[in-house]
């Protein structure tokens, strides 16, 4: 059993370059780190703007989370427009991840922004105007995002309680409105619109969710172009590479959308993991070489699937939050001093 798992992951990690369309990182917290005094350096130790470090390492697209009215302004629209301009000036594509909340939106949190209505008709109208206005503001500032996600990890719905899974119709209505605002904006060319769920390895979850939301009526297939998934190895041993491949293949065959791993990480240090790691990843070390091996393995899974388009590493430069939400000590791709690890160059090879 161990030998077959080892063979499988070596095959995935060592196969030919995946040649993904989107080779990306989430860099949402870079301005927070820079404000705290971090000066980023390339793998050779030379100070360099991080957008150019990413570009020179093979990254072609950066992901940014947008909160509505966050305390202090961090991650709000103005923050993201300024950050996106830096990406554009470095020749990087921009992927906007709307959380539709004033703070974190994820499977456990999807709070309606302060001051937004809760009645479904009013909330859908508010959401339409929010995505319309935000999209127009990016356009008017010279930024044309290549991807926009309408919600973040919305497996449990969005804009709770109105858009919870107790009303699949409301979820469908809200997503249609969010999409329509982007489609009606001045953005040109129009970005790919993504729906993003967690647990990309779990086909049962993906099938349950999309089957329920698409049969309601308001959300139609033409409202979105991409299905994004989160895929982390440190929360359950069930998150195997083989399960991811099976799930993505089923998604491609059933719905025919472009597919992206919108979030993934691998630890450079994990002395006391809270959960067992997946069986077909147990030979991957917890270091920079292991990060490269994991990213190649995931990239090759994505590339092997019909319409598999991209991979995004979540917050590799957030060195003051180095565990990145896991029980591992460090999953960043930069050292504590801000120097890029050797693993960052893996993006040249996917």
Q: What residues act catalytically?
A: 153, 263
SS (HEC) of 52-85 = HHHHHCCCCEEEEEECCCCHHHCCCHHHHHHHHH
d(CA 212, CA 171): 10
Specify whether the CB–CB gap between 24 and 61 falls below 8 A: yes
CB-count burial class (<10 Å; 0-12, 13-18, 19+) for 18: buried
What does residue 334 show for φ and ψ, rounded to 5 degrees?
-130, 150
3-state secondary structure (DSSP) of residue 88:
helix
d(CA 329, CA 267): 7
Spacing of C-alpha 9 from chain mean position: 23
Provide the token pair at 5.
């798992």
Length of the chain: 350
Which DSSP string corresponds to 193-234? EEEEES-TT-HHHHHHHHHHHHTSSSS-GGG-SEEEEE--SS
The number of beta carbons lying within 10 Å of the beta carbon of residue 295 is 26
């Amino acid at each position: 059993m161990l030998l077959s798992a080892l063979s499988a992951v070596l095959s995935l990690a060592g196969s030919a370059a995946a040649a993904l369309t989107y080779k990306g990182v989430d860099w949402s917290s870079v301005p927070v780190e820079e404000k705290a005094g971090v000066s980023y350096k390339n793998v050779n130790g030379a100070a360099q703007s991080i957008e150019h470090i990413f570009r020179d390492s093979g990254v072609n697209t950066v992901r940014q989370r947008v909160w509505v009215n966050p305390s202090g302004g961090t991650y709000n629209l103005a923050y993201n427009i300024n950050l996106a301009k830096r990406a554009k000036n470095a020749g990087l594509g921009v992927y906007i991840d709307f959380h539709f909340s004033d703070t974190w939106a994820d499977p456990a949190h999807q709070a309606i922004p302060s001051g937004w209505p809760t009645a479904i008709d009013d909330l859908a109208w508010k959401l339409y105007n929010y995505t319309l206005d935000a999209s127009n503001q990016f356009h008017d500032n010279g930024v044309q995002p290549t991807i926009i996600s309408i919600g973040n990890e919305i497996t449990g719905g969005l804009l709770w309680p109105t858009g919870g899974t107790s009303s699949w119709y409301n979820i469908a209505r809200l997503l249609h409105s969010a999409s329509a605002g982007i489609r009606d904006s001045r953005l040109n060319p129009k970005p790919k619109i993504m729906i993003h769920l967690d647990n990309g390895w779990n086909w049962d979850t993906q099938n349950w969710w999309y089957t329920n939301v698409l049969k309601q009526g308001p959300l139609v297939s033409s409202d979105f172009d991409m299905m994004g998934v989160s895929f982390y190895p440190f929360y359950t041993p069930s998150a195997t590479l083989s399960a991811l491949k099976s799930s993505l293949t089923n998604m491609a065959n059933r719905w025919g959308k472009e597919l992206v791993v919108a979030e993934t990480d691998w630890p450079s240090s994990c002395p006391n993991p809270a959960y067992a790691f997946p069986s077909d990843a147990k030979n991957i070390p917890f270091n920079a070489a292991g990060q490269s091996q994991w990213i190649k393995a995931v990239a090759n899974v994505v590339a092997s699937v019909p319409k598999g388009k991209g991979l995004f590493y979540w917050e590799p430069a957030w060195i003051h939050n180095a565990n990145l939400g896991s029980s591992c000590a460090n999953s960043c791709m930069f050292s504590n001093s801000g120097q890029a690890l050797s693993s960052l160059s893996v993006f040249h090879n996917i």
